[in-house]
Amino acid sequence: MSNQEFRDFNLIKPIYRALRDMDYTNPTPVQMQAIPPLLAGRDLLGCAQTGTGKTAAFSLPIIQHLAKNQRRRERGFVRALIVTPTRELAAQIYENLNMYSKYLDVNSVVVFGGVKQNSQVKSLNRGVDILVATPGRLLDLINQGYIKLEKVEFFVLDEADRMLDMGFIPDVRRILGHLPNKRQTMFFSATLSPKIIQLSKSMIHNPVRVDVTPEKPVVELIDQRLMNVRTKQEKSTVLMNILKDQNVTRALVFTRTKHGANKLVKLLARADIEALGIHGNKTQSAREKALESFKAGRVKVLIATDIAARGIDVEGISHVINHDIPNVAETYVHRIGRTARAGSGGISISLCSPEEHPFIRDIEKLIKQPIPIVDERPYLTRVELKPVEPKPQRQTRPSQKSYSQKRNRKPRNPQGQRRPKQRGQASPGSKARRGNYNR
Ligand code: AMP
């Protein structure tokens, strides 16, 4: 972070407001170097990893331009295209775009493989300002005529080196063939090998070059531990035993999903461990309150998802616990880095179930060291859980109709089955009945 402020850039107010909501105060180095030339329309060759703030660096100028030069959206046509190698990254970029543009009429759509295309096609048909895509699905949809790239004004190629590793370059070249020559291009890669530079030359013209060395947490300072567990239940038991330890003074626990975070907060409460959750489904004020309590030490456990945890800068975190192992290796480095602020050390514990082993292998490759395995057995002691509190009964007002009444349906019998229809008897919504109305 720097002393420069976002206010020093020529960004429009709704963007500042969104950044303020996200607690971005100072631009990161890549943002400082990239945003002004991008606003001026230059191409960019960026050497920056995920975690440096590069998403905002390329997104903010695009959003600003689209907001200032609005056009009617046309079915299938795209104005800005961001291509990224993995669906996790695509989803993450999409989520960020939505946050940056939340006060503007600029829309984004994300498409990636591995899921049905129907809902993606529906969104495309409504017209798209910014499309985030992985290469395979993008080409599929182009070939089916759902996406048209002839009017693209901005093209971002993200993580070019990973594209190369994953064998996506032929696909990228095919995509390039659909793009108009007149466009602004931003090319990002974590490394700039000769091969990558060569590739970039076919896409960018007279670019500004931005190089940022990632703000890597000092992995060596962190006492990393890996515990293998067999089941989900073992995971929870081990976690509860760890958190009950006196040495854990401030713990940040990561879960993969928002739902998982909520569930964990409830479970810990039953073990008398007070924890708060912080994730994207919570209101801004709930998030702030949780963070404040955690910072002030009123609650020693914070359970977070990755997106919500980004930007959390809390000192004195004694433990980072990966309840779920991240499937993007870089995320692991971000997570554990929260415990080694300002040169202090800290402990990170990763709870790994059998299906998560491949993620650990990726992480170890990235950090170039094995994570020492620690015996989980002492932490498998049974934890006494309080019974689940019954949900408060919802009061139904006498006048309130039941679901079946509202839908004009036959009530269910006590076994929950709808009574079988008598031969010749019309159900309330059936044609025969409607026929009566028409008479
Ligand atoms: P990225 O490299 O774009 O994936 O960004 C890494 C994380 O840093 C994201 O979660 C962003 O929300 C966060 N971030 C990006 N820029 C800033 C900033 N200027 N201030 C605070 N957090 C930021």
| CA dist., res. 286 & res. 123, Å (int) | 31
Residue nearest to atom 20 of ligand 1 (CA): 24
Whether 24 is in the pocket of ligand 1, judged by its Cβ within 6 Å, is yes
pLDDT at 338: 82
Q: Around 43, how many Cα atoms within 13 Å sit in the side-chain half-sphere?
A: 17
Tell me, what's the pLDDT at 431? 36
Ligand 1 centroid to residue 99 C-alpha, Å: 12
Q: Which stretches of 27-183 are assigned E, i.e. beta strand?
A: 44-47, 78-83, 108-111, 128-133, 154-157
Ligand 1 within 6 A of CB of 84: no
User: CA nearest 94: which of 102, 276, 198?
Assistant: 102
Q: What is the DSSP letter of 152?
A: -
- The Cα–Cα gap between 169 and 191 comes to 16
Q: How far is the CA of 126 from the centre of ligand 1 (A)?
A: 29
> What are the tokens at 427?
């159900």
Q: Is the CB of 236 under 6 A from ligand 1?
A: no
Q: How far apart are CA 384 and CA 21, in angstroms?
A: 40
Q: How far is the CA of 11 from the centre of ligand 1 (A)?
A: 17
Q: Which residues pair with 303 in a beta bridge?
A: 253, 277
Q: In the prediction, which pLDDT does 88 show?
A: 78
CA of 368 to the centre of ligand 1 (A): 24
Mutation probe of ligand 1 site: the residue of 23, 26, 28, 335 with most atoms within 8 A of C-beta: 28
Decide: 297 in ligand 1 pocket, CB within 6 A. Answer: no
61 Cβ inside 6 Å of ligand 1: no
For atom 22 of ligand 1, the residue with the nearest CA is 311
- The pLDDT of residue 25 is 82
Amino acid at 78: V
> What is the pLDDT at residue 279?
81
What gap in Å lies between CA 285 and CA 311, rounded to an integer? 16
- Compute, in angstroms, the gap from residue 36 CA to the centroid of ligand 1: 18
Ligand 1, atom 9, lies closest to the CA of: 310
What secondary structure does DSSP assign to 185-240, as a single string? EEEEES---HHHHHHHHTT-SS-EEEE-------GGGEEEEEEE-SSHHHHHHHHH
pLDDT tens sequence across 421-433 = 444 343 433 333 3
Residue ID of nearest Cα to ligand 1 atom 16: 53
Instruction: Find all residues with CB under 8 Å of 70, minimum gap 6, and list them.
Output: 105
Ligand 1 centre to CA of 56 (Å) is 7
Which atom of ligand 1 lies closest to the CA of 99?
A: 12
> Using one digit for the tens of pLDDT, what is the confidence trace for 368-414?
899 999 999 999 999 999 888 776 666 555 545 444 454 554 444 44
Q: Which residues of the chain have pLDDT under 50?
A: 1-2, 215, 399, 401-404, 406, 409-439
108 in contact with ligand 1, CB cutoff 6 A: no
Whether the CB of 49 sits within 6 Å of ligand 1: no
Cβ–Cβ < 8 Å for 39, 10: yes
For the four alpha carbons of 13, 18, 23 and 28, in that order, the dihedral sign comes to negative
**List of residues 6+ apart from 170 with CB closer than 8 A:** none
What domains sit in the chain, N to C, each tagged with a CATH number?
6-211 (3.40.50.300), 218-379 (3.40.50.300)
The answer to whether the CB of 89 is under 6 A from ligand 1 is no
Burial zone of 435 (CB within 10 Å; 0-12 exposed, 13-18 middle, 19+ buried) = exposed
- Looking at residue 295, what is its pLDDT? 87
- Expressed in angstroms and rounded, the spacing between residue 53 Cα and the centre of ligand 1 is 4
